[in-house]
Amino acid sequence: MSQVQWPLVMLAFVIGLALTPALMVRRIKVEAPAAPSTDKPVKSAAKAASPKPKKAIAVDPVAKKIPRLHDAPTTRIPVGEDFPTAEIPLADESPTTLIPVEDEPATWTIPAVSYASYGPGSARAQPDGSGPDGWLVKGRTDTRLYYTPGDTAYDPTIAHVWFEDEASAVRAFFTPWRKSAKKR
């Protein structure tokens, strides 16, 4: 998804350019004048002598005038005693049912489990950067590097995540700090 298919983008643009004016233009209906106008003076005798062929004007045969009714149709709605009513009987029992409640409220205890954000064998670091006892592999989420106690950068590094062993760090797609230092 990182590469753009430019030929398809250009094709969509060209089709959009072609379809936009085509869909925006409406057909124009030509209407015939009600009566031909005879009050125009003829400018020259040659024009008056030569008859011009008349253009055929398309008239929509479906359109026709509908006469308006003078009286609008009305419906009488019965009012008062003429209006039929029916009484609805009410049920004898109430619509709610009481649910028995225990005298002692239920309490739940949520066990404090370290959050394994990078799979099994990983744990989120405490706010001070410390981790679980016995876990010696530090990880930084911003660089995706992990540090072992033998590395020179182990002590100054503040951990974001702790791993149980190097295999857990590799499973979480972290790179050893030693290999990243050789690339530079």
Q: Does 171 map to a domain? A: yes
Greatest pairwise CA separation for the chain in angstroms: 117
Does any domain span residue 163?
Answer: yes
> Total domain count for the chain?
1
Query: In the prediction, which pLDDT does 129 show?
Result: 85
pLDDT score at 172: 93
Q: Decide if 105 is inside a domain.
A: no
Element (DSSP H or E) covering residue 139: strand 137-140
To the nearest 10°, the Cα dihedral for 10, 13, 18, 24? 180
Residues 146, 162 contacting (CB under 8 angstroms): no
Please report the pLDDT score of residue 50 as a whole number. Answer: 55
Between the CA of residue 96 and those of 62, 107, 114, what are the distances in Å? Answer: 63, 27, 45
Residue 13 forms part of a structural domain: no
The pLDDT assigned to 26 comes to 73
Under 8 Å between Cβ of 123 and 132: yes
pLDDT at 94: 60
Residue 167, domain member (yes or no): yes
Residue 137 lies in a domain: yes
Does residue 131 fall inside a structural domain? yes
Only one residue has tokens 């954000």, namely: 117
Question: CA–CA separation, 122 vs 139, rounded Å?
Answer: 9
End-to-end CA distance of the chain: 30
Name the one residue in this structure whose structure tokens are 């295999």.
Answer: 167
Residue 173 belongs to domain spanning: 122-183
pLDDT of residue 160: 92
With a CB cutoff of 8 Å and minimum separation 6, the contacts of 137 are 146, 147, 148, 162, 163, 164, 165, 166, 168, 169
Give the pair of three-digit tokens for residue 71. 């009286």
For the chain, count helices (H), then strands (E): 4, 5
Check: pTM over 0.75? Answer yes or no.
no
Structure letter (DSSP) for residue 157: P
pLDDT tens for the chain, 184 residues long, are: 568 888 999 999 999 988 888 888 777 777 766 665 555 555 555 555 555 556 656 556 666 677 666 666 666 666 655 555 566 666 665 666 677 766 666 666 665 555 567 888 899 988 888 888 899 999 999 999 999 998 989 999 999 999 999 999 999 999 998 876 665 5
pLDDT for 11 equals: 93
Q: Does 86 fall in a domain?
A: no
